[in-house]
Structure 1
Amino acid sequence: MLHLLNLFAAIALLIWATQLVRTGVLRLFGESLRRMLAASMGAWPKAMLSGMVVTCIVQSSTATSLIVSSFVGKGLVATAPALVVMLGADIGTSVMALVYSFDLSWLSPLLIFVGVVAHLSREKSSTGQLGQIGIGLGLITLALQLIVESTRPLVEAPLVRTLLVSIPNDLGIELAVGAVLAILSYSSLAVVLLVATLADQGLVPVPTALGLVLGANLGRALVAVLSVLRSDVATRRLPMGTLVFKIAACALAAPFMATFHVWLQEGVPQVLQQIVVFNLIFNAAQALLFVPVVKPLAQALERWMAPPPQIDERTPRHLDRLALDTPSLALSCAAREALRQADAVETMLRGIVPVIRGNDLGEAERLRKMDDVVDALYSAIKLYLTQISRQPLSERESQRWTEIVSFTINMEQIGDIIERVLQDVEDKKIRKQRRFSEAGMAEIIHLHERLMANLRLGMSVFLDGHPRDAQRLLEEKARFRELEHAYAGKHLDRLKENTADSIETSSLHLDLISDLKRINSHICSIAYPILEPAGALAKTRLRPSRMAGLDDIRG
């Protein structure tokens, strides 16, 4: 009983260690790996190689599938190159299984010791994350050693040997068991290593082990499909295509399993190596065999799984729940949704001048209702960011989190101001059939043009985060304030001249240019979270001499 408990504990340690490595790598290198995948969606050799490399680093083709699926769901990548990436990802998982099949017992204590020291000494830094990865790698090799030691007494037991002899050689059962193990462990890599180790110890016959490996590969595709069940149709397209490939590959391999066993016995002396080499050959052959049919399958999937038209603009499109375990990817999703919120604000802002010029009540009402979209997206993004903050974030991720929060708050407040401006225009101008003077209208148009340019600059600053552009945006705040003061003064001059149109719309005109200045202030606030870490913000806008004068008055 104790030996069986030790075996279960070693298996649990193997599964947990693979997840520890995957989590650490995604947190530390998630953004870089995402960019690498996005940049490689050209020729199929490059796409396949990138999928293989990323999966070797992440230690999970499922994680690669979720990243690439999000690209497909957002329309950044076509389905065909994404399928090629996943064929390479399967090879990457097989390569790592082959690497772990070698004797790395000498490396395990070193990785664990160095990893623990690095992680405890600098937990929040990149060094701490590297330490976590080192701990995971060391524990994987340690778990494999423990599995070997735990299985030796079990193999020698007469009852166990009797049970092994009685195991039916049924490929269907082996596929089902292997798939279930991969789904339960969320790691086909762990299952392949486990099966190879058990076969090497004689606890599982080699033909059965080969069938279990096929099942683990099938289970890997099922895990990806199950992980995106609640996502949109476009995101589910890639895992479904991968599952189709995997089912076809298992069906083609099934009639030749006995032949494969004979070939492996002749070419590979060790049983452990036979299992992992078979896994590698299976996935490499699958990739080479199915690359020519990637495009037809992608076209069929796009016809079969076409996304429905978006009806409710208030529904978030980019807040992928599956990305929450990878902060860098989740922050990217939140940023894309924040830009969608900003697009709605830009539409509202652009419509102010046409409403004023055309006295269009219908358009004013439509634009005011768009504030509901801005508010709904703000609430959704805020909730999503709250869930991201529960994960350990690096310094750069924490800064990006702050930038997104600040950006969405400013967009929500701008939407509220625009809604109020449009309501004032309806009540004080359109319904009362008043109009601005030509000079007053020209001033409003000029301020509006500057505002639109600043909003586009603000969105660029939020997207790219360049301090130089952020500084330019902040400088616009002072220029806009000066324009607002100047135009308010000119309006008062027109009042002194008893200009009829200016008198009728005086209150609305002054409120309007004041509200435009407030909108500009919110736009310029986008620069603060970017400039503050760079040390580019002054502590106060007051001059030192004025500060001294205030101190004298207080004294």
Structure 2
Amino acid sequence: MLTLLDLLSAVALLIWGTHIVRTGILRVYGSQLRRVLGHNVARRPLAFLAGILVTALVQSSNATAMLVTSFVGQGLMRLAPALAIMLGADVGTALMSRVLTFDLSWLSPLLIFLGVIFFLSRKQTRAGQLGRVAIGLGLIILALQLIVSAAAPITQASGVKVLFASLTGDFLLDALVGALFALISYSSLAAVLLTATLAGSDIISLHVAIGLVVGANIGSGLLAFMSTSMQNVPGRQVALGSLLFKLLGLVLIIPVLDPLVNWLDELRLKPQELVIGFHLVYNIARCLLMLPFVSPMARLCASLLQVPAETAGPIKPRHLDLTALATPSLALANAVRETLRMGDLLENMLGAMQAVLHGTQTAVTQQVRSLNEDVETLYSGIKLYLAQMPREDLGEQDNRRWAEIIELTINLELASGVIERMLRKIQQQKTAQQRSFSDVGLEELTDLHTQLQANLRLGLSVFLSGDPHSARQLLKEKRQFRALERRLAHAHVNRLQRKVVQSIETSSLHLELMADMKRLNSLFCSSAYAVLETADTGALSSDGPDETPGQVGEQSV
């Protein structure tokens, strides 16, 4: 019983070490890995190599699957290139399994020792996260050693020998057992290592070992498919395609199984080396053979898992993937995309305001009210999504981005309410009081409205890119808007002095709308301060002594 417990704890340590490496790499290099995957999908060979590279770094094909399925689910990547990346991920995990089977016993204590020092002394820095990665690598190497040592006495037990003796070479049964190994251990690597140990102890034949290895690959595909259960349909299509490719590999190897086993027996290598070598060669050959067929597989998966037709109704968050919360950089990217959707809704509301001002839309329609409700829905979704991310585990850059997203979503939600109130004021003026703006007054409000729309677009661009030059331009546009607002306010007062009747009748509303537009402009331009506070440019001082970032916060409250 104690020996079995040692084996289970070693497998658990392997899973934990892989998790630490994956999360550490994604926290430090998550955005770079997203660019590698996102920019190398035009050609299948490049997508294939990108899958190998990313999987080798994060030590897990499941982590690569999570990234890819999230991209496909958000519409950032087509299904066929995603399947090419998944084939590369299978090769990447096979390569790392071969590397980790070398004698690296000296490396494990060194990595753990140095990793603990860096992680505890610089936890919130990049060096601290790389120390976390080193701890994970050390634990993986240690766990592999423990698996081999713990499995050795178990394989000598009479009950275990009888159990595995029942595997007489029925390939499909062997593959099923191998898939169960991978599912139970939550790692195809652990299943392959156990198979190699059993083959080295002469508990199972090489024929049975090959069946277990092929089944372990299928088990990893099942794990990936089950882990995408919370994804939308496009995301699940990726995992389904990867699983079908692995099942096709099983079908294709059956006709050549006996000649292959005979040829491997003639190599006179150790059984462990034959099992590990077969695992690597099998995955490379299978993936290269199936790479040209990713487009037909994509069409098959799209037909098997069809995207349901969208029904009319309230808008819902589209990019807030709960499975990505374990990867802060990816989760923050999802929140950014949802925030940009809020910006699109705000732009639609501003378009409705222009229609009301010019009389082409005489009332605040249900569509405008629905837009405001949609903004509030997205705001609540983003807020709750980010609240599930433990900020103490975020790095400095991710912490800053987290705060930027929260600040902008708050400002956009406030702006939505301001716009709806402005539209109600205009409606009341035109319908209840039967009054309209003078031609000059309407032109002034239109000029401010046009500038306001441009600043909203520029503010969202600054938020997305973090470009200091664009941020300085946004603050320049903000100052120009304020100057325009003051000049137009003085012009309105001059018309009052000339006793222009329409100006007198709509004076209160005119000035209130200008003040509301000024507040909206401050909300839209607030993203510039977050960029310039972190950029070593001294650009904030150029905004003038009469305005600081704190004033924007006061106006936003």
The normalised TM-score by structure 1 is 0.93
- The 8 Å contact of residues 148 and 198 in structure 1, kept in 2 or not, is answered as no
- Write the letter of the residue equivalent to 1:82: A
- The 8 Å contact of residues 403 and 530 in structure 1, kept in 2 or not, is answered as no
2:187 paired with 1:191: no
CA distance in 1, matches of 2:81, 2:470: 35
Q: What's the offset of the Cα at 1:156?
A: 4.2
Deviations 1:213-272, CA, capped at 9 Å, x for gaps: 111111111112112222221121111111111111112223433333322232361222
Deviations 1:98-145, CA, capped at 9 Å, x for gaps: 111221112222212211222122122111111121112122222222
CA distance in 2, matches of 1:144, 1:38: 33
CA distance in 2, matches of 1:318, 1:331: 10
- Write the letter of the residue equivalent to 1:234: P
- The 8 Å contact of residues 325 and 391 in structure 1, kept in 2 or not, is answered as no
- The 8 Å contact of residues 11 and 194 in structure 1, kept in 2 or not, is answered as no
2:95 paired with 1:78: no
- Name 1:100's counterpart in structure 2: 100
- 68 and 448 in structure 1: CA distance in 2 versus 1, 3 angstrom threshold: same
- Write the letter of the residue equivalent to 2:479: A
**Identity percentage of aligned residues:** 47
Deviations 1:23-70, CA, capped at 9 Å, x for gaps: 221222121111101111022211111111111111111111121112
Question: Alignment partner of 1:408: what SS?
Answer: helix
CA distance in 1, matches of 2:440, 2:162: 99
- Name 2:410's counterpart in structure 1: 409
Gaps of 5+ in 2: 548-557
2:492 paired with 1:488: no
- 456 and 162 in structure 1: CA distance in 2 versus 1, 3 angstrom threshold: closer
CA distance in 2, matches of 1:151, 1:305: 41
- Write the letter of the residue equivalent to 1:111: L
CA distance in 1, matches of 2:160, 2:344: 66
Alignment of 1:131-280 (within 5 A): 131-267=131-267, 269-280=269-280
Alignment of 1:365-384 (within 5 A): 365-384=366-385
Question: Alignment partner of 1:358: what SS?
Answer: coil
- 102 and 227 in structure 1: CA distance in 2 versus 1, 3 angstrom threshold: same
- The 8 Å contact of residues 402 and 529 in structure 1, kept in 2 or not, is answered as no
Question: Alignment partner of 1:351: what SS?
Answer: helix
- Write the letter of the residue equivalent to 2:436: R
Q: What's the offset of the Cα at 1:72?
A: 1.5
- The 8 Å contact of residues 249 and 286 in structure 1, kept in 2 or not, is answered as yes
- Name 1:55's counterpart in structure 2: 55
- The 8 Å contact of residues 196 and 275 in structure 1, kept in 2 or not, is answered as yes
- Name 1:110's counterpart in structure 2: 110
Question: Alignment partner of 1:17: what SS?
Answer: helix
Tell me which moved more, 513-522 or 172-181: 172-181
- Name 2:294's counterpart in structure 1: 294
CA distance in 1, matches of 2:268, 2:457: 63
- The 8 Å contact of residues 489 and 511 in structure 2, kept in 1 or not, is answered as yes
Gaps of 5+ in 1: 545-555
- 132 and 49 in structure 1: CA distance in 2 versus 1, 3 angstrom threshold: same
CA distance in 1, matches of 2:81, 2:500: 66
Q: What's the offset of the Cα at 1:345?
A: 0.5
- Name 1:547's counterpart in structure 2: none
Q: What's the offset of the Cα at 1:159?
A: 4.9
Question: Alignment partner of 2:254: what SS?
Answer: helix
- Name 2:348's counterpart in structure 1: 347
- The 8 Å contact of residues 217 and 246 in structure 2, kept in 1 or not, is answered as yes
- Name 2:38's counterpart in structure 1: 38
- Name 2:327's counterpart in structure 1: 326
- 539 and 465 in structure 1: CA distance in 2 versus 1, 3 angstrom threshold: closer
- 117 and 33 in structure 1: CA distance in 2 versus 1, 3 angstrom threshold: same
- 491 and 398 in structure 1: CA distance in 2 versus 1, 3 angstrom threshold: same
Tell me which moved more, 435-444 or 203-212: 203-212
Q: What's the offset of the Cα at 1:540?
A: 11
- The 8 Å contact of residues 429 and 505 in structure 1, kept in 2 or not, is answered as no
Deviations 1:157-186, CA, capped at 9 Å, x for gaps: 455444443444333333223223323433
- 204 and 141 in structure 1: CA distance in 2 versus 1, 3 angstrom threshold: farther
- Name 2:553's counterpart in structure 1: none
CA distance in 2, matches of 1:296, 1:189: 29
- The 8 Å contact of residues 371 and 416 in structure 1, kept in 2 or not, is answered as yes
Question: Alignment partner of 2:256: what SS?
Answer: helix
CA distance in 2, matches of 1:480, 1:3: 74
Tell me which moved more, 21-30 or 264-273: 264-273
CA distance in 1, matches of 2:151, 2:366: 73
Deviations 1:250-307, CA, capped at 9 Å, x for gaps: 1222343333332223236122221121111221121122122221222233344342
- Name 2:552's counterpart in structure 1: none
Deviations 1:409-437, CA, capped at 9 Å, x for gaps: 11101100000001111111234332111
CA distance in 2, matches of 1:298, 1:238: 8
Aligned residues: 544
Question: Alignment partner of 1:316: what SS?
Answer: coil
Deviations 1:343-400, CA, capped at 9 Å, x for gaps: 0001101221211112523564422321000000000000111112357111111111
Q: What's the offset of the Cα at 1:517?
A: 0.5
- 379 and 517 in structure 1: CA distance in 2 versus 1, 3 angstrom threshold: same
Tell me which moved more, 459-468 or 201-210: 201-210
- 268 and 357 in structure 1: CA distance in 2 versus 1, 3 angstrom threshold: farther
Question: Alignment partner of 1:314: what SS?
Answer: coil
- The 8 Å contact of residues 51 and 89 in structure 1, kept in 2 or not, is answered as yes
- The 8 Å contact of residues 122 and 128 in structure 2, kept in 1 or not, is answered as yes
CA distance in 2, matches of 1:325, 1:391: 13
- Write the letter of the residue equivalent to 1:253: I
- Name 1:549's counterpart in structure 2: none
Tell me which moved more, 426-435 or 392-401: 426-435
Question: Alignment partner of 1:267: what SS?
Answer: coil
Alignment of 1:438-457 (within 5 A): 438-457=439-458
Q: What's the offset of the Cα at 1:314?
A: 2.1
CA distance in 1, matches of 2:435, 2:476: 35
Q: What's the offset of the Cα at 1:97?
A: 0.9
2:423 paired with 1:389: no
Question: Alignment partner of 2:17: what SS?
Answer: helix
- Name 1:552's counterpart in structure 2: none
CA distance in 2, matches of 1:138, 1:377: 42
